[in-house]
């Protein structure tokens, strides 16, 4: 007899395909940006006031996975210090390095102004600290000017501020004791109600920042719910495909503004099936490392360098020629920056706890 298991059945241990799923998402985002750099646009699925692209679709799945894993991280540690250090060491080491290299290596090599002008400009010296502090909108003098996304140095980094904001939300909810099933159920209803009210009864989603906050927040909330209510949620491929089919029908029938309500959780179920169920040779990827963050933060400047130097005319041409360099840099980032940063958590947390307790 065919038996459907709940998500919780698969949640024990780390032998899953989450690393592979995130890597697939990062590579799809890289291709979406190759389209933007070469032809000035991504694959668009648009109905006013909601606009989706291939990149945004992948990012929504990232935020679902983040909501699930970050909520799990808080429940595992239940310590603001441990949680905060863990989150910071996942994002900041790689970000600090890519910001430094961009400002002081890539910038001088790619700028169209003289080096004296470049290094006398305040933006050159502000880029590294501000980008490292999750303000990634800085430009660099003469760098990547005249490209379709004019003067934008590293476009993907803008999502990290949303990620960090939701990290803080999880910590606040945990500190207030809202992760119990009863309390979080009401919190989820409140969050969903706010999402529906803003989406359907206001024009606020025509403002880009609010639109991003709505769908990223909704995706992150779904991820938290999937973790907290995992024992009640079935996970099967037929069910996930049926939900996706209904969601796609809703999008085409009623537009993204309505279809999004079903599309994000349906994509989450399909993503979790891919993450948990297929085994065999796919699990060998875990032995290689987690390169998705490196691909995400490094691919855009590398693609822009390749486009500037060689003038590739098609997205696939730019993508394929950039991919080897992106993978090499992502692998180096994981083994020499990100992984050592994560390993340092076990030293940083006891030190900080000792300092805090010594002052109380």
Q: Is the pTM of this model over 0.75?
A: yes
Q: What is the pLDDT of residues 258-269, one digit of tens each?
A: 888 999 999 999
CA distance 341 to 349: 12
How much is the pLDDT for 2? 54
Domain that holds residue 152: 5-358
Read out DSSP for 205-231?
Answer: GGSHHHHHHHHHHHHHHHHHHHHHTGG
CA distance 312 to 171: 45
Q: What is the pLDDT of residues 14-35, one digit of tens each?
A: 789 999 999 999 999 999 999 8
Say whether pLDDT at 312 is over 90. no
Q: What is the pLDDT of residues 67-90, one digit of tens each?
A: 999 999 999 888 899 999 999 999
CA distance 201 to 186: 21
Q: Which two tokens stand for residue 164?
A: 């960090």
Number of domains into which the chain is organized: 1
Between 13 and 66, the more confident residue is 66
Q: What is the pLDDT of residues 279-303, one digit of tens each?
A: 888 889 988 999 999 999 999 999 9
**Residue 28 φ then ψ, to 5°:** -65, -40
Decide: 34 and 319 in contact? Cβ < 8 Å: yes
Contacts for 237-244: CB closer than 8 Å, 24+ residues apart: 237/270, 237/273, 237/277, 239/4, 239/269, 240/266, 240/269, 240/270, 240/272, 240/273, 241/270, 243/269, 243/270, 244/269, 244/270
Say whether pLDDT at 356 is over 50. yes
How much is the pLDDT for 45? 53
Please name which of 345, 332, 324 lies closest in space to residue 94, comparing C-alpha atoms: 332
How much is the pLDDT for 90? 95
CA distance 97 to 104: 11
Say whether pLDDT at 358 is over 80. no
Q: What is the pLDDT of residues 114-154, one digit of tens each?
A: 999 999 999 999 999 999 999 887 899 999 988 877 778 99
Say whether pLDDT at 51 is over 70. no
């Amino acid at each position: 007899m065919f038996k459907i298991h709940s998500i919780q059945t698969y949640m024990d241990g780390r032998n899953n395909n989450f690393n592979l799923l995130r890597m697939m998402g990062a590579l799809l985002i890289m291709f979406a940006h190759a389209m933007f750099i070469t032809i000035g646009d991504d694959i668009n699925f648009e109905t006013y006031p909601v606009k989706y692209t291939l990149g945004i679709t992948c990012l929504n799945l990232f935020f679902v996975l983040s909501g699930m894993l970050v909520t799990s991280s808080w429940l595992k540690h239940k310590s603001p210090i441990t949680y905060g250090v863990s989150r910071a060491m996942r994002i900041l080491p790689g970000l600090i390095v890519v910001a430094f290299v961009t400002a002081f290596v890539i910038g001088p090599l790619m700028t169209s102004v003289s080096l004296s002008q470049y290094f006398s400009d305040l933006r050159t010296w502000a880029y590294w600290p501000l980008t490292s502090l999750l303000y990634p909108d800085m430009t660099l003098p003469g760098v990547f000017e005249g490209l379709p996304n004019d003067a934008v140095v590293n476009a993907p980094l803008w999502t990290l501020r949303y990620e960090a904001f939701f990290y803080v939300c999880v910590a606040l909810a945990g500190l207030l004791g809202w992760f119990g099933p009863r309390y979080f159920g009401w919190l989820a209803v409140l969050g969903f109600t706010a999402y529906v009210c803003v989406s359907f009864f206001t024009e606020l989603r025509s403002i880009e920042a609010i639109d991003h906050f709505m769908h990223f927040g909704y995706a992150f909330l779904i991820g938290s719910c999937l973790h907290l209510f995992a024992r009640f949620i079935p996970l099967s491929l037929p069910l996930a495909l049926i939900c996706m089919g209904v969601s796609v029908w809703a999008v085409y029938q009623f537009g993204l503004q309505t279809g999004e309500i079903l599309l994000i959780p349906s994509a989450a179920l399909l993503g979790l099936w891919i993450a948990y169920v297929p085994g065999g040779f796919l699990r060998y990827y875990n032995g290689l490392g987690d390169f998705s963050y490196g691909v995400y933060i490094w691919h855009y400047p590398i693609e822009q360098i390749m486009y500037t130097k060689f003038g590739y005319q098609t997205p696939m041409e730019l993508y394929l020629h950039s991919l080897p360099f992106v993978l090499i840099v992502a692998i180096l980032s994981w083994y020499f920056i990100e992984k050592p940063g994560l390993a340092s958590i076990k030293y940083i947390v006891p030190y900080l706890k000792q300092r805090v307790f010594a002052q109380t």
